[in-house]
Amino acid sequence: MTQVTEHLSYEEVACHDGTPYPPEWRFIRLIPLADAFEYIRRVFGSPIIVDSAYRTEEYNRRIGGARNSQHVQGRALDLRPANGDRKGLHEAVMQARRAGLITGVGHYPTFLHVDTRPGPQVTWYGSRVENQPQAAA
């Protein structure tokens, strides 16, 4: 089994140190994340590059990731558009957020972070975090 979903592979969600995505989280954490990715991909209508997904604690520390990173929890993806259309990808991510599929969105100069963390929606720009009320279902 090499694909999580049609457009997302197990290779893409593995840690860059070679550690595979934890099997015990595949149904409880990866499936909702992959469903959100497929929704974003469908709305965007073009290939999306996954720059980072699951990270081991050691790898996350080594690259200077956030201490409580959702990547370490297997709930996050850093995405960039293969065609360079950052505005279009942003619009697709925000539509997924309004649909309740993602709760965390981080805006960075070269990529967008999305995650499925439990709790209220959170947005940040670089390292500045803004809590936002969760949208009604």
pLDDT digits (tens, 9 = 90+) for 86-132: 999 999 999 999 999 999 999 999 999 999 999 999 999 986 555 54
Task: Taking residues 72-96, report their average pLDDT.
Answer: 97
> Is residue 89 situated within a structural domain?
yes
**Alpha-helical regions (H) of the chain:** 10-13, 31-44, 57-62, 86-98
98: which residues sit within 8 A by CB, 6+ positions away?
Answer: 135
The predicted model scores a pTM of 0.90
Residue 92 contacts residue 99 (beta carbons within 8 Å): no
The CA distance from 89 to 103, in Å, is 16
> Is residue 54 situated within a structural domain?
yes
> Is residue 137 situated within a structural domain?
no
> Is residue 74 situated within a structural domain?
yes
Total domains present in the chain: 1
CA dist list (Å): 9 to 38, 40, 42, 47, 105 = 12, 15, 16, 13, 22
> Is residue 83 situated within a structural domain?
yes
Task: Taking residues 18-22, report their average pLDDT.
Answer: 98
Domain holding 109: CATH number? 3.30.1380.10
> Is residue 38 situated within a structural domain?
yes
> Is residue 128 situated within a structural domain?
yes
**Can you give the residue range of the structural domain that contains 118?**
3-132
The residue ranking higher by pLDDT, 97 or 133, is 97
> Is residue 29 situated within a structural domain?
yes
Which one-letter amino acid corresponds to residue 127? S
The CA distance from 73 to 68, in Å, is 9
